[in-house]
Amino acid sequence: KAGVTQTPRYLIKTRGQQVTLSCSPISGHRSVSWYQQTPGQGLQFLFEYFSETQRNKGNFPGRFSGRQFSNSRSEMNVSTLELGDSALYLCASRALAGRNEQFFGPGTRLTVL
Amino acid sequence: DQQVKQNSPSLSVQEGRISILNCDYTNSMFDYFLWYKKYPAEGPTFLISISSIKDKNEDGRFTVFLNKSAKHLSLHIVPSQPGDSAVYFCAASRSGAQKLVFGQGTRLTINP
């Protein structure tokens, strides 16, 4: 089975711009979660989607949003970028049944200048 | 408020010996715990997990121990190999919640 894929792998934006990141989960996985990793805050949960519905949201401002499509692919969007949004954005997918192991993609490295 | 803590930022172990990575948590509602390994510029790789109904889980060279009363878990790697050099994260979750709460990570270096 192919793993979680994320595109693009690297992105450079300037302050005030917006960005959209994409994630394709493992085939058959219907739950997709997004995390942000920064040196100062570590790995932090952004939100989780299942069946095109956001089920859980972390403590991030409304500039961070996401969605999920009927094929379980997910996108996250960050509007009005700030310097502090520079981070590695990770997507993880999970099979519904069974345990809560989440499988991560390689991440998108976002740099805001 | 950091609910999951890994108090050792780094650990150095000789090849072939045992590596022990520690993790503490404060939220008694957590009932599922996971360990991930991460190389630079890659996403975390799932290693092993444990439910709160158990106190030990083994998978090959990896064993996770859970002490609920102390709110402490540890990952043992035996024997340690050079390819084990990476950053290890412990994570916790609650039943029915997909959100994982991560520790800050421990950088493990295996010396030949």
A13 at B interface, C-beta within 8 A: no
Tens-place pLDDT, residues B27-62: 999 999 999 999 988 899 999 999 999 999 999 999
Q: What does the pLDDT profile of chain A (113 residues) look like in tens digits?
A: 679 999 999 999 999 999 999 999 999 999 999 999 998 888 999 999 998 999 889 999 999 999 999 999 999 999 999 999 999 999 999 987 656 889 999 999 999 99
Report, as an integer, the average pLDDT of B8-36. 96
B7 at A interface, C-beta within 8 A: no
> For all residues of chain A together, what is the average pLDDT?
93
Residue B72 has pLDDT above 80, yes or no: yes
At residue A39, the pLDDT reads: 86
d(CA A82, CA B96): 33
Q: In what order do the strands lie in the sheet with B62-67?
A: B4-5, B19-25, B72-77, B62-67, B56-59
- A24 and A36 in contact (C-beta within 8 Å)? no
Closest Cβ opposite residue B102 in set A6, A31, A42 = A42
Closest Cβ opposite residue B100 in set A4, A45, A105 = A45
At residue B16, the pLDDT reads: 97
- A6 and A105 in contact (C-beta within 8 Å)? yes
Most A-contacting residue of B100, B102, B104, B106 (CB-CB within 10 A), to test interface: B100
A90 at B interface, C-beta within 8 A: yes
d(CA B13, CA B60): 19
Residue B5 has pLDDT above 70, yes or no: yes
Tens-place pLDDT, residues A30-62: 999 999 999 888 899 999 999 899 988 999 999
- B21 and B106 in contact (C-beta within 8 Å)? yes
**Record: contact B44-A104, CB cut-off 8 A:** yes
